[in-house]
Amino acid sequence: MGKILVTGGAGYIGSHCVIALINSGYDVVMFDSLEIGHIETVKTLQSIQAKGSVVDFIQGNLQNLSEISDVFKRHNIDSVVHFAAYSQVAESVKEPQKYYYNNVYGTLNLLNAMLENNVKNIVFSSTAATYGNPVYAPIDEKHPQIPVNPYGKTKLMIENIMDDYDKAYGLKSVRLRYFNVAGADYQARVGEWHNPETHLIPNILKSTFSDGKTFTLFGDDYDTKDGTCIRDYINVEDLANAHVLAIKYLNNGGETNFFNLGTTEGNSVKEVFKTCEDVVGKSVPIEIHPRRAGDPALLIAANNKAKSVMGWSPEKTLRDSITSAYNWEKILQERIQKKEMAEI
Ligand SMILES: NC(=O)c1ccc[n+]([C@@H]2O[C@H](COP(=O)([O-])OP(=O)(O)OC[C@H]3O[C@@H](n4cnc5c(N)ncnc54)[C@H](O)[C@@H]3O)[C@@H](O)[C@H]2O)c1
C-alpha cells in the first residue's frame, strides 16, 4: 500500500485527519508551506507512532509546481487528501487575487502533478460556502451552488475542475463540503491554532482567558429562536473520520462524488456562548453589534448522503467539541505565554 499525501497537514483540520489516517494504519506524507500551519504540529504528529505508521513531512508550496511534483517522485503516493488553501471569507473579499492564485492555481499544480505520476484519487476540502445564500434548509447536496464570496467561488471552481479532470483523465474525487468545523483532538495533541482566529468557538474561549474582555456578538435580531444566527457545528474528529471513509470509498472503485459534512442540528450563537461559559465555568460579558453583511440566519446540513454512501455518522455533540477545544486552548495559552516570556 502506498502513502497518502495530505496537503495542509500542519493546519487545523489536516492535522486531525493525519491522526485519523495513522489510527487506520496508513502511511502519510504531509506537504505544507507552514505559512499558517505550525512546525510544532508536525513534530507532534511525527511523534504519534500508532500502528507503526510512517509520517513524513515536506515543507513546500503548491504554488510552485516543481515542489509538489517532487513529492510524487520521491514517495509512492496512492491517494491525496487536499486541505491546503486560504480560507478566510472576509480576507477573500479584500484580496481575491491572493485566493484565486493560492486556492485555484495551487490546486491545478497539485492535480497536474497527480496526473503526471498516475495518481487518480483525491479527497478535497470543499465548503458549505459553495452553496451561497440558502434557498431552503437543511441544505442537501442538490441545493444550488451560487457562492457569494471569492473564497466560496474558488472552492466551487475547483469542484468544477475536478469534474472535468474526471471526464477527460479519469481523476476521481470526493468533495467534502464542511459546515462549521469545531473542537480539537480529545487528547489535546492538536487543535485550532490560527492567527488571527476568525472562528466563533475559539474566540469565545480565548476571551475567557483575559479578564475584563468582552465578546462581540454580531446581530441579535435574526428570525431565529433567540434572534442570533444558527450554524451547524461539526466536530473535527468526526470530520477527520469522514476523510478516511472517503479514501476507502475511492480505493474501492467509488465514482467521483460529493457529500455534506454536518450534524443536521443547528445551534444559535447564544447557545454556543452559553455552552462555552458552562464548560469553562466563567461568564463573559457580551457586546451586541449590528449584523455583519452576508451572514445568513440559518445554515444547516442534510447529511444523509454521507451516511448512506460512505457509512459516515457524526458522533460528538457541541459540548464535546467545546470541551476538547477548551482543553486545547489551555495548552495553546501556556505555549503563547512561554514564548512571550522567552522573548522578554
Ligand atoms: N475550518 C473550517 O471551518 C472549514 C470549513 C469549510 C472548509 N474548510 C476548508 O478546509 C481546509 C482546511 O481548513 P483549516 O481550518 O484546517 O485551515 P488551516 O489554515 O488551519 O490549514 C491549511 C493549511 O494549508 C497550508 N497551506 C495553505 N496554502 C498552501 C500552499 N499554497 N501550499 C502548501 N501549504 C499551504 C497552511 O500553511 C495551513 O497549514 C481548507 O481548504 C478550508 O478551506 C475549513
Residue 34 in contact with ligand 1 by CB distance below 6 A? yes
SS3 category, 178: strand
**Residue 191 within a domain:** no
List CB contacts of 146: < 8 A, sequence separation 6 or more: 131, 132, 133
Q: Are residues 108 and 219 located together in one domain of the fold?
A: no
Q: What is the pTM assigned to this prediction?
A: 0.97
Closest CA to 45 of 11, 74, 70: 11
> Structural domain of residue 297, as residue ranges?
200-231+265-343
Which of 86, 151, 222, 233 does the annotation list as catalytic? 151
Cα 9 to middle of ligand 1, angstroms: 9
Strands 230-231, 267-268: parallel, antiparallel or unpaired by DSSP? antiparallel
Among 241, 261, 281, residue at a domain's last position: 261
Residue 106 placed within a domain: yes
Residue 189 lies in a domain: no
Centroid of ligand 1 to alpha carbon of 103 (angstroms): 10
- If asked whether residues 331 and 244 sit together in one domain, one would say no
26 among known catalytic residues: no
Separation CA 337–CA 324 (nearest Å): 20
pLDDT in 10s for each residue of the chain, 344 residues: 789 999 999 999 999 999 999 999 999 999 999 999 999 999 999 998 666 788 999 999 999 999 999 999 999 999 999 999 999 999 999 999 999 999 999 999 999 999 999 999 999 999 999 999 999 999 999 999 999 999 999 999 999 999 999 999 999 999 999 999 999 999 999 999 999 988 999 999 998 888 777 888 999 999 999 999 999 999 999 999 999 999 999 999 999 999 999 999 999 999 999 999 999 999 888 999 999 888 899 999 999 999 999 999 999 999 999 999 999 999 999 988 887 777 66
Q: Does the Cβ of 257 fall within 6 Å of ligand 1?
A: no
CA–CA distance, 143 with 338 (Å, rounded to integer): 47
Helix (H, G, I), strand (E, B) or coil at 85: coil
Does 235 contact ligand 1 (Cβ within 6 A)?
no
37, three cell numbers: 500551519
Query: Domain check: are 150 and 255 in the same one?
Result: yes
Domain count, the chain: 2
